[in-house]
Chain A
Amino acid sequence: MIPVTPAPSSFWNDTGKTGISAWIFSTDHKRIGLLYLFSTFGFFIVGVLLGLLLRIELMAPGRTIMEPQTYNALFTVHGVTMIFLFILPSFPGAFGNLVMPIQIGARDVAFPRLNLLSWWLYMGGALIVLASLFTGGGPPDTGWTFYVPFSARTGTNVSLAVFGVFIVGFSAILTGLNFVTTIHRLRAPGMTWGRLPLFVWSLYATAWVQILATPILAITLVLVMAERLLGTGLFDPGMGGDPIMYQHLFWIYSHPAVYIMILPAMGVISDIIPVFSRKPVFGYKMIAFSSLAIAAAGSLVWGHHMFTSGMSDTAVMVFSFLTFIVAIPSAIKVFNWIATLYKGSISLEAPMLFALSFILLFSIGGLSGLILGAAATDVHVHDTQFVVGHFHYVMFGGTGFAFFAAMHYWLPKFYGRLYRERPAIIAWALMFTGFNILYFTMQVLGMKGMPRRYYDYLPEFANLNLLATVGSWILATGLVILLVNLFHGLLKGEPAGTNPWGGASLEWSTPTPPPTENFAEEPVVTHGPYDYSRTGVP
C-alpha cells in the first residue's frame, strides 16, 4: 500500500502493524477494502490499456498495429479483465468493504477471516487468469462470453482462464454471504432497515445476486472445462448436446451479473446526490425497494441476449416482455434522483459532477438497452458496435463514473486528505467529452451495420472509427489527470476533516481516517441517513 502520514490512532497505524503482512493478512475491513481497491483498479488500468490498443487497431481499415489473432486475444482479455477482475469485484470488494460496516455502525463484517479469504481467492483467480495469457496455447480468443462450440475447440488457453474465473466467482459468493449476514446481524442499535443508507440497501440486493447467480457461472465454467478436457459433449450437437444450453446457463448468471455491476453504483449515486443537493433523498423507500426489484426481475431476463440464437419465438416474446419490466425500477431510481435535485441547493463539486453524468450516461445506456431488449429491433443491431456502445454506456458511463464519484467522495475519508478541486473538474470534463465521442460514435457505427469483434471493416466506416479512437485518447487523458490529482491529494493534500461534504450517514461521524475499531463506542442511531437537520451540519 502507499504509505501516508495520517493522524495518529487511525486504522493506518493504531495497531502498530504497518508492514506488508499486516496488510495482506489483515482482517480489518478497511485494509481489505483498500487491498481490493488497488488490486481491482490495477486490473482496470490493464483493461484500459488493452482497450486503447484495440481502438488504435480500429483507427483505420486493414492492419494498423497488430495481427488478427492478436486482436481476437486482446478483445477477449480486455473483456475478461474488465468484467471479472474489475467491475464485478470492485464495488462490493473495495467500497462495500471500506464503507458498509461503518455505515451500519459495526466494527467489522460478520466473518472477517472469510473476508480476507475472499480477497485471496480473488487474487489467486486473477493470477491464474494472467498465467493463462502466457502459457499453453496463448491467450484465449473466444470473447469474454466463452461461447461454445468455439471455446470447446480453440487451441488457445481457455481452460486455464476459465478456471481462474471460477475461483474469482467463489470469492464473489463468499463476499455476498458475508455482506448479507453482516447487514442482518451487525447493525448498530437504532439502525433500523428504514435508516440504512441507500448504498447499504444496494449492496444488500447485490449480495443476494452474488449468492444466487454465481453458482450457475461456476457449474457452467466447470462444464466448459469438462467439454475441453474430457470431451463430455453436453454442448456438442454431434454427441446429443445443445450449444444453446450453454448460452442459457451462461446468461442465467451473466445477466444478473450486470446488476451486480450496476446496483452498488446506483447506491453510491443515491448517497451522493442528496449530500450535494443539501436535501433529504426523495422517495427513500422506493429507491431501496427498486434495488431489490431490479435484483429480482433482472434474474428472469437472461434470454434477451439470445434473440437470434434460434430459441423459440415464445421464449423470445416472454424474455422481451420481462426485459421491459426491469426498466420500471431503473426509471424509478432516475426519477427519484431528479426529484431529489429539484429545488435543492446543488453544489457542483467533483463527486457530484461524476454522479450527475452517471444519470445522463446511464439513461442513454438504459434507453439504448430498450432497443436491444425489443426483439424486433434487436435483430438488426445484434452483434454490432451498437451493443458495444450500449454496454460501455451502462458499465463505464454507469458503474465506471460512479466508481470515480465514490473515489472522490469516500477516499479522502480513509486517507484523511483532500484532492484539489480544479484539476478534478478538468479531468471530469475531459472524460465526459471523450467518453461520449467514443461510445456514441460506436452506437452510430452499429446502427450503420458495423459488426462487433471484427478486425477489419468497410471503408465507409473509416471516419467514424477514427473519431471514436480520438475520443478514446481524450478519455484516457482525463483519466490520467484524475488519477494523478486524486492520489497526489490523498497523499499530500489539505486535511479532509471529519465531514468534508456535510453528509449525515454514520461514516461522517467517526474520526478521519477512522480507527481500526471504527467507533470509540458503539453508536446509537437516532436519525435517518439523509436527515441533515439533526446532525448539526450546516
Chain B
Amino acid sequence: MSHAGEKDYFGAKLGIWLFLFTELLLFGGLFLLYAVYLHRYPLDFAAGGRGLDWIMGTANTLILLTSSLFAAMALTALQKGDPRRSIVMLGCTVTCAAAFMAIKYVEWSAKISHGIYPGSELLKNGAPGESVFFALYFMTTGIHGLHVLIGALLLAWIAARVKSGAVNTENSILLENSALYWHLVDLIWIFIFPLYYLML
C-alpha cells in the first residue's frame, strides 16, 4: 500500500486494466446484438458475410497483429534504455494504424458506392437479415476504427513524450499502458474479423 504522490506502478496498471474491461463491455453490447440477430437470420448473415472482402480483412488482421508487435517492441526498447529505437518502433505502429485505416477506407467506399450503407434504399428493400448484418458491420467497424484512430494519436503523443524524455526507462508506465490499450484495439479486431469476414 503506497501513497498518492509517489508513483504507484501497480495502481496505474490496475486502473488501465479496469478501463480496458469497460472497452470490452462497450463492444460486448454490439456482439450481443450480433449473437441474437445471427440466431434469427443465419442465412442472411452468411450472405452478408460473403459480401465482405476477406482478402482486405485478412490484410488488416496481419497489419494490426504486426502493429501490436511493434508496440511491444517499443516498450521493450525503452525499458532496455534505447529511447531512439522505441520512437522508431512507435512510428512503425502508427504507420500500421494508418495502413489499416486506408484499407478500411477503400472497403467502406466500395460498399457505399454499391449502395450498401446504414439506412440505404438497397438495404431497406433487401432481406431484413442483411440490413441488420450491414448495420452492425458499419457500427462495429466504425467504432473500432475510431478506437484505432484514438490509439494511434495516443501512441504518436507518447512518442513525442519519449523524445522529450518525459517518458523514459525509469518511468515507462505511460507507454506501457498505451501499448496495452493498443493491444486491446487489436484484440477486438481479432473477434470482429472471423465474425464478419469469415462468416460461411
Q: Are A218 and B131 in contact (CB under 8 A)?
A: no
**CB contact under 8 A between A212 and B21, given known A185-B10, A188-B1:** yes
Cβ B119 vs Cβ A219 within 8 A: no
**A-B pairs with lowest CB-CB distance, top 4:** A240-B128, A231-B119, A219-B29, A215-B25
**Cα distance, A126 to B134, chains bound together (Å):** 33
Contact across chains for B26 and A239 when beta carbons are under 8 A apart = no
With the chains together, A35 CA to B108 CA distance in Å? 45
CB distance from A68 to the nearest CB of B (A): 31
Is B3 a contact partner of A107 (Cβ separation < 8 A)? yes
**A186 x B4 contact (CB < 8 A):** yes
Q: Which residues of B contact A112 (CB under 8 A)?
A: 4
| Contact between A245 and B11, CB atoms less than 8 A apart | no
Cβ-based interface call for B63 (8 A):
no
Q: B33 at the A/B interface (Cβ < 8 Å)?
A: yes
Residues on A with C-beta less than 8 A from B81 are: none
Determine if A222 is an interface residue (Cβ-Cβ < 8 Å): yes
Q: Which of B22, B27, B132 contacts A233 (CB 8 A)?
A: B132
Chain A, residues 246-290, CB within 8 Å of chain B (1/0): the string is: 000100100000000000000000000000000000000000000
CB<8 Å pairs between A and B, sample of 22: A106-B4, A108-B4, A111-B15, A184-B11, A184-B14, A186-B2, A186-B4, A187-B1, A211-B21, A211-B22, A212-B25, A219-B26, A219-B27, A222-B143, A231-B118, A231-B119, A232-B119, A233-B118, A239-B123, A239-B128, A239-B131, A240-B41
Residue numbers in A under 8 Å from B129 (CB-CB)? 240
Q: Which residues of B contact A20 (CB under 8 A)?
A: none
Q: Which of the listed residues A110, A188, A245, A522 has the most CB atoms from chain B within 10 Å of its own CB?
A: A110
Complexed CA–CA distance, A216 and B22 (Å): 9
Q: Which of B138-175 contact A (CB under 8 A)?
A: 138-139, 143
Residues in B neighbouring A245, C-beta threshold 8 A: 33, 36
What sequence of 0s and 1s flags, for each residue 1-27 of chain B, a beta carbon within 8 Å of any chain A beta carbon?
111110010110011001101110111
Closest B residue to A249 using CB positions: B29
Whether A232 lies near B118 (C-beta < 8 A) is yes
In the complex, identify which listed stretch (A174-182, A388-396, A417-425, A449-457) lies at the interface while the others stay far away: A174-182
With beta carbons under 8 angstroms apart, the residue of B2, B44, B123, B132 that contacts A185 is: B2
Instruction: Assess the B8–A241 pair: CB atoms within 8 A.
Output: no
List, in ascending order, chain B residues with CB within 8 A of A185's CB: 1-2, 8, 10-11, 14
For B194, the chain A residues whose CB sits under 8 A away are: none
User: Across the interface, do A181 and B15 meet the contact criterion of CB distance under 8 Å?
Assistant: yes
Of all chain A residues, which has the CB nearest B133? Answer: A240
Q: Is the CB of B22 within 8 A of A178?
A: no
CB distance from B127 to the nearest CB of A (A): 8
Which residues of chain B are near A231, meaning CB under 8 Å?
A: 118-119
User: Whole-angstrom distance from the CB of B76 to the nearest CB of chain A?
Assistant: 26
Name the residue of chain B whose CB is nearest to the CB of A216. B29
| Interface bracket on B | 35 or more
A214 touches B (CB below 8 Å): yes
Q: Does A341 contact B (CB under 8 A)?
A: no
Residues of A near B131 (CB, < 8 A) are: 233, 239-240
Report the minimal beta-carbon distance from B14 to chain A, rounded to whole angstroms: 5
Residues from chain B with a CB closer than 8 A to the CB of A230 are: 118-119
- The interface residues of chain A lying within 8 Å CB-to-CB of B19 are 173, 177
- Chain B CB within 8 A of A374 CB: no
A173 to B40, CA, bound (A): 33
Which residues does chain A contribute within 8 Å of B136, judged by CB atoms?
A: 234
A469 at the interface (CB under 8 A from B): no
Taken together as a complex, chains A and B put the C-alpha atoms of A152 and B196 apart, in Å, by 26
Q: In chain B, what residue has the closest Cβ to A174?
A: B19
Whether A223 sits at the interface, judged by CB under 8 Å, is yes
A226 part of interface (Cβ distance < 8 Å):
yes
Is A118 located at the chain interface by the 8 A CB criterion? no
B32 at the interface (CB under 8 A from A): yes
Contacts of B115 in A (CB 8 A): none
Q: How far is the CB of A217 from chain B (nearest CB, A)?
A: 9
Collect the chain B residues with CB atoms within 8 Å of residue A241's CB: 37, 132, 135
> Are B139 and A110 in contact, with the CB atoms below 8 A?
no
The reply to whether A109 and B4 form a contact with Cβ atoms under 8 Å apart is yes
Q: Separation in Å of the B141 CB from the closest CB of chain A?
A: 13
Q: In angstroms, how far is the closest chain B Cβ from the Cβ of A40?
A: 22
Q: Which of A83-119 contact B (CB under 8 A)?
A: 106-112, 114
Beyond A187-B1, A211-B18, A234-B135, 13 additional pairs, beta carbon < 8 A: A180-B18, A184-B11, A186-B1, A188-B1, A191-B1, A212-B22, A216-B25, A216-B28, A222-B139, A233-B132, A238-B124, A249-B29, A249-B32
Are B14 and A181 in touch, CB under 8 angstroms?
Answer: yes
Min CB gap B26→A, angstroms: 4
Q: How far is the CB of A272 from chain B (nearest CB, A)?
A: 27
B30, CB-defined interface residue at 8 Å: yes
Q: How far is the CA of A212 from the CA of B128 in the complex (A)?
A: 32
Whether the pair A181, B26 counts as a contact (CB closer than 8 A) is no
Q: How far is the CA of A232 from the CA of B143 in the complex (A)?
A: 14
Once bound together, how far apart are the Cα atoms of A245 and B2, in whole Å?
Answer: 45
Q: Which B residues lie within 8 Å of A214 (CB)?
A: 22
With contacts A185-B10, A187-B1 taken as known, whether A173 is within 8 angstroms of B119 at the C-beta atoms is no
Confirm or deny: A189 has a beta carbon within 8 angstroms of a beta carbon on chain B: yes
With both chains docked as a complex, state the minimum distance between the C-beta of A190 and any C-beta of chain B, in angstroms: 10
- What is the chain B residue whose CB lies nearest that of A235? B33
Q: Nearest B residue to A237 by beta-carbon distance? A: B128
Determine whether A330 belongs to the interface, using a CB cutoff of 8 Å to chain B.
no
Map CB proximity to A onto B51-79 as digits: 1 under 8 Å, 0 otherwise: 00000000000000000000000000000
Please name the residue on chain B nearest to A184 by beta carbon. Answer: B14
Collect the chain A residues with CB atoms within 8 Å of residue B123's CB.
233, 239
* A427-458 vs B, Cβ < 8 Å mask (1 yes, 0 no): 00000000000000000000000000000000
Distance (whole angstroms) from the CB of A64 to the closest CB of chain B = 41
How far is A109 from B25 in the complex, measured between Cα atoms in Å?
25
A178, B118: Cβ atoms closer than 8 Å: no
B17 → chain A, closest Cβ, in Å?
9
Tell me, yes or no, whether A220 is within 8 Å of chain B by CB.
Answer: yes
The distance in angstroms between the C-alpha atoms of A235 and B180, with both chains bound, is: 34
- Tell me if B23 and A215 are in contact (CB < 8 A): yes
User: CB-CB < 8 A to B44: which residues of A?
Assistant: 240
Residue of B nearest to A112 (CB): B4
Question: What are the residues of chain B within 8 A of A222 when measuring CB–CB?
Answer: 139, 143
Query: Are B132's CB and A226's CB within 8 A?
Result: no
Contacts A185-B10, A233-B131, A239-B132 given; indicate if A173 touches B22 (C-beta within 8 A). Answer: yes
